[in-house]
Structure formats: structure tokens, C-alpha cells
Structure 1
Amino acid sequence: MTVKEQQSGVWQSERRLTAIARAGLSAPARQALVDQQITFETSVLDYGCGRGGDVTALTGMDVRASGWDPHFHPDGALEPADVVLLTYVLNIIEDPEERRHALDAAWNLAQNVLVASTRLSWERSKVKGAEFGDGVLTSRRTFQHLFGASELRAYVEDVTGVRCVSAAPGIVYAFKRDEHRLSFLARRINPAFAWLESDDAGSAIAAVVDQTEQRGRIPRLEEMPGQMTELLAHLSASQLQRLVRTSADPEKVAEGVKRSTLATLLFLGVELFNGRGPFSCLPLSVQLDVRAFFSSYKEACARADRLLLKLRDDSYIRGAMSSSKVGKLTPTALYVHRRAVDLMPVVLRLYEHCASIAAGRPADWTVVKLRHQGRGVSWLDYPEFDSDPHPRLKTSYMVELSTLKTSFTSYEDSTNRPLLHRKHEFLAPDDPDVPKYRRLTESEIRAGLYENPHLIGTEQGWEAELRRCGRDLRGHRLVRRG
């Protein structure tokens, strides 16, 4: 390409070459299924579907899906759908105005939610080519504009005019209605308690009692599974309430009240961070929690606002980390295993959720790192945490909350990966694996393996200390080296 062609603005890239044949669902389509944005009841349009892999896979799952692509499927029907997928389209368009037009066209076709996804800036090393415009031009005449994770969310918000949610790194949801956005947030932040199975009136009443103890309030009929309402149809509302009140454990109900109050504050805090809507847009369960546990919606919002402001207070965050019953506290951060994050103080859960809404929480992670010096969240993936006595770090994804900049590091090809020690400290005290992990740590301390803590943080350093101390590992047991 000549300089004259670049300056003329008429050049078109070979976009068709970026379309790949998929054996299964793309990551954005899979994420939308996991998040219940795509269901058997929704219609799906894949806008810029390429070779149509997602359409084929979704259709095979009995989802009503169709696709359109200017090269591979130009005759596809461009009709409105509940869910519109815009999968790795924005990053291959070299003309910023055309890129914006494509996003706007997909948004206008979405009736419930637009799922927009792009390649991200940390993939730059994989894209070989020269700088061109606001991206990279490859030798195959394809173009890539690599987005930052928070940049993508801000870009979609700018074009659509609505508050968006980062579902995962490089995947953004734009909802047509606030009710849909808030319902998604509610499911992600405070998943509903599972109902006990019921096949007669007695077991149905026991299930309502269990829900009351979990939630701290008696659930409304509208919140119950359909079969449950049929089994309880012979009881009036007052009769059911009387039966539940006499059967429920007061101490468990009190714990449920505390749990639901904090959960509601967490949701409202995240809602403010993402853009607060009117009370009528809240999911029914959240509305009922507000009425049950607060004097008014205004009071609940005020308390949530104060909680959100606490994120700026270094001493408060450090105090919350010090008082946390779960996690490993270091001079710079708190590290908590995925199984224990819901047991952190509510302000720390809010901290992690705000980062995930801003730039997306990765699908694969094991330990979350919350910095108390500055505001940053990292999701660390140790795939062999349960089986390896000292699991190796595979990937790290970090969000800087002050700037919303993100970074991603892969250690898969490293010959000296970071690894973990004292695994029990990352978990809740009552986790069933804690005794086994603690016994290993105690035996390693007795053997002198932790005398040089600055050496043992990587594979090579740890192996050198094992040799020095004449020890080896068999599973989660420390043995003398033969």
C-alpha cells in the first residue's frame, strides 16, 4: 500500500481473512449462555457472523439463531432479535466511522441486549504488522484495532448511550432496559439460594422455612418455583406465614437478616458504581429485601453510598483486610481463594465487584489479589491448586481502579514460574482441605524450607531449597530425598 492510498481513506482491508472456522461456541457466545443472556426462549442474531460457527452451534442447541455477514452470508436476514452478538467485528474495521456505524447498527437490532467483543491490547505480540491508523496492518492486508478492556466498555457506552457491564475481559453487555441490566447484576452479585426439592405440602413448607432462614424474611409467592405454589395453594398467606414463623429457627433467621442486609448493600453499592436506576427497575427480590431490612430505599442507598466511599479510605481498607477471617494478608495486598471470596467483609467484596464490572472478571481464576496500597485487583489462575502442593501460576489479569487500565501476563511458557506456599492461608478456616494443607506447611517449616523466604517464590528457587534441605514432595507429604 502506498502513502497516497493510506491518506486517501478509500483503502479496505481483507476482513474476510480474519474469519475462522469454529468447532464450538466462541468465548462471547459461551459467556452469554453462562450468564443466561442466551436461553432457549431468546432469539439471537450474529451480526458479522463470519463463517457462521456460533449460529450452527446455537441452532444445534435448539436456540433460535440466525446470522449475517457481508462476505460469507450477505443474504442473511437483518431482523431484530432479543440478543445480538457482535463478535470480534469492531477490531477488524480500519475506518473509525465505519466501526462506529457497525456498532450502532448492531445496537439498533438488539431488543434486549447487545454482546460486543473484541481482541484486547495484551495480544499485540501475537499480531505481526506495521502501525496503521489506530491499529495494526498485517502482511495479509488484515487490520486489527486492539482495545483495552475498559476502553471497549467506554466505547460501547459512548455509541449506545447506556451503562454497560463488562462480562469478561473483552466482552461487554449493553442492555436496552435498566431492569435487564440490574437483573443481571443481581444474579452475578447475589445468586439466589437454591430451593429444597418438594413433592408434597409438608416438604414445600420445609423448603419455605429453609428459605426464610437463609434470607431473613418469608419469601413471597412470586419468588417461589411454580410447583411450590401449587403444593401450597390450599394455605392462605396468613396461614403459611404462621406456620413458617413457628418452625423457623430465630437464630438462623437473625443470621439471614444480617446476610441479606449486607448483600443488599453490596448490590446497591455496585449499582451506584455502574449507574443507579429507580427503585421500580430493581429485581423483585431486591425490592422486597429493601422493604424488609431498611426504613426506605433512600436510607438503603445512603448506606450503600457510604460503603462505596470507604473504598477510597486506605486505613479503612487495611482494617477490613486485617479483620477478614479469610485470605492471606501481605504488606501490600490480601490474597483470597475463589471458594472464600464471599466470606470477605462486604467492603472488600464491593472492591472486587467494582473491578469486575469495569474491566471484566476472567473465566479462569483461582485467587484474587486486592491491593491496599493503591487500588488494584488481580485475578490469578493456579489450575492445579487442589492437586499440586505448590501450584504454579498460569496467568494474571490486573485492573488498576484509579485509571481502569488492565494488564495480562501469561506464565505458560516460563521456565521459572511463580508458585504458592502455605495454601491453607488462602482458604476459609473451615474448608475441608485446610488440615491437609496446614500439616504440609508445618512439616516444611520444621525442615527449614522457609528460612530463606526471598528464594522460594519461584520454581527454581524452591527446588534449590528442597535440595539444600534434603527433602522431596510426594503429593502433600514431605519426605527425605533418597
Structure 2
Amino acid sequence: MQKTWNSDRRRTAIGRAALSVPARQALADRQLSPDRTILDYGCGRGGDVRTLERLDCKITGWDPYYRPETGLAPADVVLLTYVLNVIEDPAERRQTLKQAWELAQTVLIVSARLTWEKSKVRGEEFSDGLLTSRQTFQHLFGASELRNYVEEVTRARCVSAAPGVVYAFKDDAARLSYLAHRIVPNAEWLASEDTTSAITALVDHVERRGRPPRVEEMPRNVAELLAHLKAGELKRLVRDTADPERVTDGAKGTTLNTLLFLAVELFNGRGPFNSLPLSVQLDVRAFFTSYKEACQRSDRLLLKLRDDSYIRGAMSASAIGKLTPTAIYVHRRAIDRMPTILRLYEHCASIAAGRPREWTIAKLKHQGRAVSWLDYPEFDKDPHPRILSSYLVDLKSLETSHMSYANSANRPLLHRKHEFLAPDDPEVPRYRRLTDSELKAGLYEHPHLIGTENGWEAELIRCGRELRGHRLVRRAAG
């Protein structure tokens, strides 16, 4: 017989001195801005509301216990932050999500606690979650489960912005604009204060994108500074100033980025051409014979994700990353320089279950389809950085797992740091010199021993060496 219980949900609300993780993610993704109205639905004690107000956001907070007097009105963005997981009644949980969706005019941002936090939540089983000793309830979601649940209720195609954070967009245009910003690297325009600097910014953009921009694509100040020049004059200035080789390379890069975008869009459900962001539409017109041709090429690219031999071949041919018998490891700074098929591989996993906010190295398996994001917070400071956490997404099952090493006494660590980076990364020479000196000292003679802190320290002692920053020196006699 199912026991009954009156939830004391107000106890789950915590005071915040800083923005919550979902709000920080949404801010970084440009979903929260001063030109949008925001509703924090179930705002608790209002920490996010106060912080976003200080950032000049037009935000209203409503909570059934702490701010019941606030009226509920539609807003461009609705935040539903850690609300669903504290509702013990599945029907009410679903209704709450539906109501939040109805209030959102552009995007609904949903976050919930995830199953990997189960060790932090103690209680007895109740309904589809846990009843805690504080008489609160927690339903922990799997990362892909949360995305699927939001899609089912809203009937909208959703994107996992981060583990436990899902964006549900009201229309394709808003979703595709977000995906384009996330997938297609498009560096900011150079600062422009006068006509000369505006022309420099225009030429720089042409070299990076491989085509001239439309006026609608330009920052407002650049368009105003160039408004007195005729179209023919601008065209001549670009032709005479831009480096043809860079323009050609930019065109190749934009073509590949467009294919990547369209392939990810197919993975997430593809919309019509006129729903694409303007810049992507112009890229298609500039570098493909038609939208149909671009889609056909991107479809073939997505199909190649299923081919183990093709994936392994792309990994073997890549000048970026460290290849092992089971996977390729690539540093965050080099991730956008991998072959397009590998970038697609990583993006599909991130769209399905979220890429964590903090990560250093992506690991892509070549058999099966799984991506792990590994966090080495001291990568650049520590000659042999220790891992802090890992987050894995299995693309076949969409199951996720998280591992924290924060309390581990013998953490895994990295060697040969230069191999994870692009060859032209400015830190590569320094890291390679350290590797060479360690090889010469005999520290890699027993590779099975050096993968953890204790084993590495034992080998340093055996070889009579110690590290001072990124220099290997003889150990002082003690």
C-alpha cells in the first residue's frame, strides 16, 4: 500500500550568494540578456533573481511559498530551476512543466538534480524517488531522461545545454540560432572606432568566413562606419586587401562547419531552410549548389558515425590529439580543429546529454560510441595534472555516468601533455622538453606504474629526480 505524505518543499530552497549552475550556463549561452524578459518559476529564496537584476536583466521571481504574491505572466525566458525533482506527485510534476512551458515565449530552461548525486541524498524510497529525513522529496533524473521527459511534455525538440540543463525552444528559429552559436565557430568582430578599423574588421571577417558578409550580419557600429562607402568600393577594398589564401582556407572551414551544423541538426531533427539563421543560409548559398546538396552531404557525414573503420581512420589521420588503442584524447583548446566527423561525434553526445561546464580533455572511443569529458583543472600549471572528474555519454544507449576523484588519495594523472594539444599550441615546446627529459631519465621505463600519483612519485624517487614546475631536476640528497 502506497503511504501518503505531505511534502515540505520549501525546505529544498537554498540561499545563493552566486548564480545557480543553470543560470550561469544560460547566461554564457546568451539565453539570458537585458533585452529579454525572464520569469524564474519556483524561484525559492530568490538568489538568481537578485543576481540577474544586478546584471540589468528584466526578471520576475515567483514561488508558491516565498513569493506567492508575484503574478504569473508570460516571459521570453522561463527558468524552471531544480523544481521538478522536488515534486513527489508525477501528475503534478508534469503539470508544473506544462505550465512553465505555456508561460515561455522563446525558451524554457529546465534543470534538475541527476542520478549521479544519489550518494548525496539519503532517504527511503517513496513513489519514484526518495523521502529524506527533512521531509523533502527528490526524484533524480538521468541526463538523457530529463531531455526526453521535457521533449515528451512540451512536444518540442530540446537540447541538453549541460548535464541536467535542458533548453526547450518555442520555434525552430530560436533553437537553430542557439545551435549555430554553439556549433559554428564565429569569432567576434574586431573592435571598430573609425572607417579604417571598420574596413580592417570587414577584411578579417571575409578571411575567416570565406565570403563577404551582408549588412544584416555586421555589428551595428561597423555597418554605420561603412555606410558612406558604395558596395563597389567595399568590394574593391576587400579584394585588394584580403589575403586570397586565407579567404580560400576560410571558405573551406565554413563549408565544413556548415556540414557539421546540418548534420547535428539532423541528429536533433532538421527544419526548413528559411528557419536557419541568416548567416548559415548565406553560407549554404555561397558554398553549395543548393540546400538539398548541403543536406545530402551532411546526411552522409552523419551516417559515417556508424562506421568503426571510418572513425578509426579519421582518428589515425588526425594531427590533433593523442591516439590510444581504444580512443583519441583532445584538449579543449584543440577540439574545433579535429576532423569534421570527430567534431560531429563530440557534438552529438553533447546535444543528447550535455557537455559539462568544466572540462579539459574530450575522450572519443573508436569502438562503440561514447564521449567522456575529463576535468584536469591544473592542466597548464601542473606538469602532470591530476583528474578531478569525468562525465561519460554513451551515444548508443544515451546512458550517462559521472565519476568524482575529489576525495581520491591516489588520482590518475597525465604524462606527455603536448600530445593532447594542437602542434602549433604555444605551450607545446615547453611540455615536449619536459617529456624528453623524463624519457632520458628513465621515468617511462615502467608505463604501467606511472598512471597514478603514488606510482609516479615512486618512479621519481627510483630515478632520483623531482619536478620544479615544468623542469626535471636531480633529487636533493636527504
Q: TM-score, normalised by structure 1?
A: 0.97
Deviates more, 1:55-64 or 1:137-146: 55-64
Please, which of 411, 415, 429 is the counterpart of residue 417 of structure 1?
A: 411
Q: Secondary structure at the match of 1:378?
A: strand
Q: Give 1:316 deviation, angstroms.
A: 0.4
SS class of match (1:242): helix
Match of 1:276 among 267, 270, 289: 270
2:449 counterpart SS class: coil
Task: Report deviation, 1:12.
Answer: 2.6
Matches within 5 A, 1:54-73: 54-73=48-67
User: For residues 426-445 of structure 1, what are the structure 2 equivalents within 5 Å?
Assistant: 426-445=420-439
Amino acid of the structure 2 residue aligned with 1:353: H
Q: Tell me which residue corresponds to 1:232.
A: 226
CA distance in 2 between partners of 1:157 and 1:393 (Å):
34
1:143 — aligned with what?
137
Structure 2 residue aligned with 1:289: 283
2:465 to 466, 471, 479: 471
1:36 maps onto 2:30 in alignment: yes
1:69 Cα deviation after fit: 1.1
Cα shift at 1:120: 0.2
Aligned to 1:363: 357
Per-residue deviation, residues 218-255 of structure 1 (Å, max 9, x unmatched):
11111111122222222222332232123222111111
Letter in 2 for 1:336: V
Q: How many residues align?
A: 476
Structure 1 window deviating more from structure 2 (206-215 vs 240-249): it is 240-249
Contact 1:327 1:337 in 2 (8 A): yes
Q: Given the alignment of the two structures, is residue 23 of structure 1 paired with residue 21 of structure 2, yes or no?
A: no
CA-CA distance at 1:59 after TM superposition: 1.5
Quick check: 1:67–1:77 contact (8 Å CA) kept in 2?
no
1:4 Cα deviation after fit: 5.8
CA distance, structure 2, for counterparts of residue 98 and residue 161 of structure 1? 18
Superposition pairs of residues 171-186 of structure 1, within 5 angstroms? 171-186=165-180
Post-superposition shift, 1:193?
Answer: 2.4
The question of 1:201 aligning with 2:218 is answered no
Q: SS in structure 1 opposite 2:409?
A: coil
Partner of 1:404: 398
| Matched residue, 2:322 | 328
Q: Is 1:5 matched up with 2:31? A: no
SS in 2 for 1:113: strand
Residue 412 of structure 2 aligns with an amino acid whose one-letter code is: P
Task: State the distance in 1 between where 2:2 and 2:299 align.
Answer: 55
Whole-Å Cα distance in 2 between the matches of residues 438 and 161 of structure 1? 51
| Cα-Cα RMSD | 1.0
User: Equivalent residue for 1:454?
Assistant: 448
Q: CA separation in 2, counterparts of 1:456 and 1:203?
A: 52
CA distance in 1, matches of 2:65, 2:274: 44
Report how far residue 110 of structure 1 moved. 0.4
In 2, Cα distance between equivalents of 1:92 and 1:178: 30
1:124-159 CA distance string (max 9 Å, x none):
011001111111111121110000000000000000
Aligned to 1:164: 158
Q: Quick one: which amino acid aligns to residue 432 of structure 1?
A: P
Aligned residues of 1:204 and 1:228 also touching (Cα < 8 A):
yes
Pairing 1:104-123 to 2, within 5 Å after superposition? 104-123=98-117
* Correspondence for 1:76: 70
Partner residue in 2 for 1:389: 383
Deviation string 1:12-64 (CA, Å, 9 cap, x unpaired) is 31111111111121111111111110101111111111111111111222211
352, 368, 371: which one aligns with 1:374: 368
TM-score, normalisation: structure 2: 0.98
In the alignment, residue 3 of structure 2 is paired with which amino acid? Answer: E
Q: Report the Cα distance in structure 2 between the residues aligned to 1:303 and 1:171, rounded to whole angstroms.
A: 31
Match of 2:97 in 1: 103
SS in 2 for 1:5: coil
2:302 is the counterpart of 1:299? no
User: Alpha-carbon deviation of 1:270?
Assistant: 0.7
Q: 1:261 to 1:412 in 2, by over 3 A?
A: same
Could you say if the C-alpha distance between residues 4 and 326 of structure 1 is closer, same or farther in structure 2, counting changes exceeding 3 Å?
Answer: closer
The farther-off stretch of 16-25 and 224-233 is: 224-233
Counterpart Cα distance in 2 of 1:325 and 1:269:
23
For 1:187 and 1:428, how far apart are their aligned partners in 2?
23
Deviations 1:308-340 (A, max 9, x none): 111100000001001111110000000000011
1:198 deviation in Å? 2.6
The percentage of counterpart residues that share the same residue type is 71
AA matched with 1:462: W
Give 1:480's match in structure 2, choosing from 462, 474, 478: 474
SS class of match (1:431)? coil
Separation of aligned partners in 2, 1:247 and 1:444: 48
Secondary structure in 1 matching 2:125: strand
Distance, in Å, in 2 between the alignment partners of 1:297 and 1:285 is 14
